[in-house]
Amino acid sequence: MNLLTVALTTAIGVGSLAAVLGLLSPRRVRATAVGVGTALCGAAATVAGVAAIGGQHATLELPGLLPLAGVSITADPVAGVFVAVTGGVAIAAGIYGIGYSRHGLDGRGVQAAFPLFIVSMLLVPVAASVGTFLLCWELMALTSLLLVVAEHRQRPEVASAGRWYAVMTHLGLVAILSGLLLLTAHAGSDSFPALRQAARHLSPTMRGVVFVLVLIGFASKAGIVPLHAWLPRAHPEAPSHVSALMSAAMVNLGLYGIIRVGFDLLGGGTRWWWLLVLALGAVSAIYGILQAAISTDVKTLLGYSTTENMGLVLVGVGAAGIFASAGSPVLAGLAVTAALLHVINHAAFKTLLFLAAGSVLHATGTRDLDRLGGLRTTMPATTAAFGLGALVASALPPGAAFISEWLLLQALIHGLPSAGMATAIAMPLAVAAVALTAGLAVATFVKAFGVGFLARPRSPRARDAVESPASMITGMAVAAAGCVALALLPTLLLPGLGKVGAVLMGGPSAVAAGPITLRLVGVAGSLSPLMLTAALLVGLVLAAAAVRILASWRVRRQTRLWDCGAGPLSARMEYTATSFAEPLQRVFDDVLQAEQDVDVTHVTESRYLVQAVEYHRRVPDRVERRLYEPVLRFTAAWGRAGRRLAPGGVHRYLGYGFYSLLALLLLLVVTR
């Protein structure tokens, strides 16, 4: 009984207990009981995850729990990373949920599904057999679906989002199921060690087929383009603490699946797998952030940003695979360490951003950036939280995401001389993709923070906003503390992550970190996040002191805004999110293909005088239009055609049954 076993069991026990409390406790205390239980479950899970990263192992076999397959659980360092991330997000989301659930979200079903969703996410990475894995995966999909549709009575869009999510997550499950069953059929047993053995004797073609199948399933869970269509629908419509869990914890498990099956079970594979992964990642990163940059709905924007960040992680994973197949495990370890660090950083800042967006939604009832603004005076805590999250999300120093992107770029830069022509073309393009993504992320989050929270309110609801209750602010504070700790002291975390990368890639640990500076092993490179922040602070203090001493000592005078001497401004004259993103939309028009039209109504007496001008702009998701709509149209046409087979007569249906049976029997006769 080591710490890992105790903590993991506690987490799952407390989480299940919270689910039971959600069903049984009276409405008055329900949200509090579930929230506290979830936070405790998350805390225990974080401890378990850290213990697993530290090198502890735990195995649990419960053959009687599930008929035929049984349940088998193994926690190793790779699983530990994802358990710890889910646990950390659960702490913040659980505390936040206490206050957030008071308005119509404290029904029995929702409150019971919430802790159950977290427990299933904790079980997915520690599952050690195909049966257990798929069971937890499906439990995770179903509980999250229940949570997504929690508010379907209030808003009709929720139901549509739920349908998209349900269909796509299950198509993904079908792909994963087929891939893993194909592998299991060759292994004779569904336990992961048996699969590892079997994969060694598989033909390369067969392994490729298995990999592509599971890649499709896991990429759809991670919101990778072109399988992302559910993500910008489901994440905004879910309650905000659920959005945080889905965006910061659930999508990670798609990446976990790719890492587990690709590197661990299939043992690395060939280069084209990872070139495919790298390409998917780069396309997702650019497409995701481009859609986020022009989005005006704050939660949709955050959803697309999730696609972007998962794309960046996939770039790291793909690069790791390429380096491993080229025979340089050190670089592969570095790339995979960068990817894992980015998973952790993304979880921290995306939790913070979704919780802050939820707080805004709670206070103003709108997610539309064009109607927000001026929240810094009425909601200072939420503004500070979103500002911190936005700084980290734009990958600028001193934020945490800067460090993981720096590591990723280091891996890509040092990877160039190592391998052949394909790598030489892929790496610079990957660097350019990461760079473009970073640039657009800056524009996106300047827009989200500057338009949403600064300037003046653009609607009465934004003007009358009031700060959220203490529990929600505490939840945000937990996430913010995580962001700050990750930004200042990644040196405490990185040696552990480096070992995880080393375990996966079979080389030495790629990162050595002293207390202040982190250094790369095997290639030249060092960075000190703590020194960077300290230098910035010292610079700021020096600048402030110098201005204080040298400038005029008179007090600041309140004046009205100059604005070129024009009259008092109304809020309608401010730049909105739409107008802010207009130059970017025009620059990338070939990709985005926005639809806009201007309707001018003339005065009846003279067509030189204008009565009203109406401007409409819509930016449809182009991948969706090109890829999904034809499939949906075809399916609908197929369904309509099939309807003629079912006119409603019972005789006809009995006849169908009879003839099907007959055909089956004939088939058996012919083939046997």
Partner 1 sequence: MNGLRVAAAIGQPVLVLALSPLLVGMMRQIRARLEGRAGSGIGQPWRDLRKLMRKQPVAPRGTGQVYRTAPLLLLATTLVVSVASPFIATGSLLDPIGDLFAVIALLTLGTVALALAGLDTGTAFGGMGASRETTIVALVEPTLLVAVFALSVRVGSTNLGAIVTSTLQDPARVFSPVSLLAAVALGVAIIAETGRLPVDNPSTHLELTMIHEAMVLEYAGPDLAVIELASAMRLTVFLGLLANLFLPWGIATSGNPLLILGAAAAFVAKVAVLGAVLAAGEVFLAKLRLFRVPELLAGSFVLGLLAVAASFSLA
Tokens 């439990």 belong to residue: 139
Nearest approach in angstroms of CB 65 to partner 1 is 50
- Cβ nearer to partner 1, comparing 24 with 416: 416
- Give the residue among 270, 310, 315, 274 at the shortest CA–CA distance from 292: 310
303, 482, 560 from 91: Cα distances, Å: 21, 11, 45
State the minimum distance, in angstroms, from the CB of residue 390 to partner 1. Answer: 9
Q: What are phi and psi of 368, to 5 degrees?
A: -80, 115
Give whichever of 188 and 583 is closer to partner 1, judged by the CB atom: 583
| Min separation Cβ 490 and partner 1, Å | 13
Please give the DSSP secondary-structure letter assigned to residue 127: B
- Rounded CA-CA distance 231/250 in Å is 11
**How many Cβ atoms sit within 10 Å of the Cβ of residue 230?**
24
Residue 356: exposure state from Cβ atoms within 10 A (0-12, 13-18, ≥19): buried
Q: Give the chain's length.
A: 672
Residues facing residue 513 across a β-bridge = 518
Decide whether 66 or 396 has the Cβ nearer to partner 1.
396
For the CB of residue 431, give the shortest distance to partner 1 in the complex, in Å: 5
Instruction: Rank residues 416 and 665 by Cβ distance to partner 1 and give the closer one.
Output: 416
In a 3-state reduction of DSSP, which class is residue 129?
Answer: strand
- Closest separation between CB of residue 618 and partner 1, Å? 20
CA–CA distance, 51 with 655 (Å, rounded to integer): 62
**Alpha carbon distances (Å) from 507 to 338, 409, 518, 522:** 15, 20, 19, 11
The amino acid at residue 448 is A
Spatial separation of the C-alpha atoms in residues 670 and 77, rounded to whole Å: 53
CB of 231 to partner 1, least distance (A): 22
Q: Residue 171 or 409: which CB sits closer to partner 1?
A: 409
Question: CB of residue 615 vs partner 1: minimum separation in angstroms?
Answer: 16
Q: CB 592 → partner 1: shortest distance, Å?
A: 14
DSSP type of residue 55: T
Helix (H) or strand (E) holding 48: helix 27-53
Q: Which is nearer to partner 1, 3 or 413 (CB)?
A: 413
31 contact partners, CB below 8 Å, separation of at least 6: 97, 98, 101, 102, 105, 106, 111
CB of 462 to partner 1, least distance (A): 12
Closer of 46 and 383 to partner 1 (Cβ): 383
Element holding 618 (H helix, E strand): strand 610-618
The DSSP result for 214-246, as a single string, is HHHHHHHHHT-TTS-TTHHHHHHHS-HHHHHHI
CB of residue 278 to partner 1, shortest distance in Å:
16
Cβ proximity to partner 1: between 62 and 543 the closer is: 543
Q: How far is the CB of 447 from partner 1 (least distance, A)?
A: 7
**At its nearest, how many Å lie between partner 1 and the CB of residue 90?**
31
Round to the nearest angstrom and report the end-to-end CA distance of the chain. 55
Select 68 or 524, whichever has its Cβ closest to partner 1.
Answer: 524
- In the bound complex, what is the minimum distance in angstroms from residue 504's beta carbon to partner 1? 24
Burial readout 49-70 (b: 16 or more C-beta within 10 A, e: otherwise): bbbbbeebebeeeeeeeeeebb
Nearer residue to partner 1 within complex by CB, 212 or 416? 416
- SS3 sequence of 302-324: HHHHHHHHHHHHHHHHHHHHHHH
Q: What's the CA angle centered on 85, arms 219 and 507, to 5 degrees?
A: 75
By C-beta, is 57 or 456 nearer to partner 1?
456
Instruction: State the Cα–Cα distance between residues 617 and 324, nearest whole angstrom.
Output: 46
Closest CA to 444 of 205, 436, 608: 436
Q: Which is nearer to partner 1, 149 or 388 (CB)?
A: 388
**Closest by Cα among 429, 404, 396 to 334:** 404
Closer to partner 1 by Cβ: residue 16 or 533: 533
Q: Which residue, chain included where needed, has tokens 């059929």?
A: 185
